[in-house]
C-alpha cells in the first residue's frame, strides 16, 4: 500500500474551504463532515489503487504525470505518484471553477 503525503497547500486550502463554509455559508457540521469524509475515502482508495484516476498532465500543462480526483460536483485535488518512495503526494484542494493550481 502507498503512503499519503499532503502538501501544505492542500492543508491550507481545506482549512479555507471549511472556514468559508462555516462563516460565510453557515453550513452544518454534518455537511462539512460528509465533505471531509468523501475526501478521506478517495485518499484511502488511492492507497490501494494509485492509478485510479486519469493522468491530466497534458491538459493542465504539468511536466510530469499528475492525476485529478473530483470530490462532489465542485471540488477536486491533484496528486502525483512517487514510485521510489511508495508515496502519493496530494496537491491543493480547489473549487473546479477556480482552476488556480499550485502543487
Domains belonging to the chain, first-starting first, are 3-95 (3.30.2310.20)
For cell 473530483, name the residue: 70
Give the whole-angstrom CA distance, residue 3 versus residue 95.
25
HSE, side-chain direction, 13 A CA sphere, residue 100: 4
Quick one: average pLDDT of 54-78? 93
pLDDT winner (highest mean) among 27-36, 67-76, 77-86: 77-86
57 — pLDDT class (breaks 50, 70, 90): very high
Give the whole-angstrom CA distance, residue 42 versus residue 26.
25
pTM of the predicted model, to two decimals?
Answer: 0.86
Query: Are 71 and 77 in contact, with CB atoms under 8 Å apart?
Result: yes
Choose the weakest-confidence range: 23-32, 50-59, 73-82, 91-100.
91-100
Amino acid at each position: 500500500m502507498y503512503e499519503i503525503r499532503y502538501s501544505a497547500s492542500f492543508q491550507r486550502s481545506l482549512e479555507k474551504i471549511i472556514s468559508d463554509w462555516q462563516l460565510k455559508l453557515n453550513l452544518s457540521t454534518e455537511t462539512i463532515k460528509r465533505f471531509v469524509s468523501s475526501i478521506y475515502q478517495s485518499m484511502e482508495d488511492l492507497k490501494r489503487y494509485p492509478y485510479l484516476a486519469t493522468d491530466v498532465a497534458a491538459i493542465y500543462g504539468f511536466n510530469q504525470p499528475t492525476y485529478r480526483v473530483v470530490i462532489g460536483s465542485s471540488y477536486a485535488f491533484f496528486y502525483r505518484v512517487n514510485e521510489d518512495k511508495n508515496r502519493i503526494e496530494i496537491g491543493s484542494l480547489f473549487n473546479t471553477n477556480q482552476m488556480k493550481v499550485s502543487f
